Amino acid sequence: MKSLIVYCSYEGNTEQLANYIKEEIGADILKLVVEKEKKIKSLFRFIWGGIQVYMTKEPKLREYNVDLSKYDNIIIGRPCWFETFAPPIRTFLSNNKLKNKNIYLFVMVET
């Protein structure tokens, strides 16, 4: 069974975990990147992210070429944003049909 890890990562923590899982199970990997990403590292970015979550925004993603029909398992990795998933994951789920797939989720939570 072929697996694909789909993730988004802003600070690199989720990316590090995604790459670890990739090596352990031999999965392919897809990093979701917002087309017009905010590069700000400040309180404003935190506030902007919260607004995106609560308004259920679906930001436009950079184009990616992955044929999801080739995968049995879709492993979704995300940072924890305001007790829900980050907006790029919402966009991915909205844009892709994952019917008849085994879906797994991992969440990167910093303590």
pLDDT in tens, 41-96: 666 566 666 666 656 677 788 999 999 999 999 999 987 766 667 788 889 999 99
Residue 6 in contact with residue 32, Cβ under 8 Å?
Answer: yes
Tracing tokens 């404003």 back to the chain, one arrives at 44
Rounded Cα gap, residues 49 and 87, in angstroms = 8
CATH number at residue 98: 3.40.50.360
Task: Give the count of domains, the chain.
Answer: 1
Of the candidates 40, 35, 39, 42, the one whose C-alpha atom is nearest the C-alpha of residue 88 is 35
* Domain range for 25: 3-108
Token pair recorded at residue 108: 């990167």
Give the predicted TM-score (pTM) of the model: 0.82
The pLDDT value given to residue 87: 84
pLDDT band at 28 (very low <50, low <70, confident <90, very high): very high
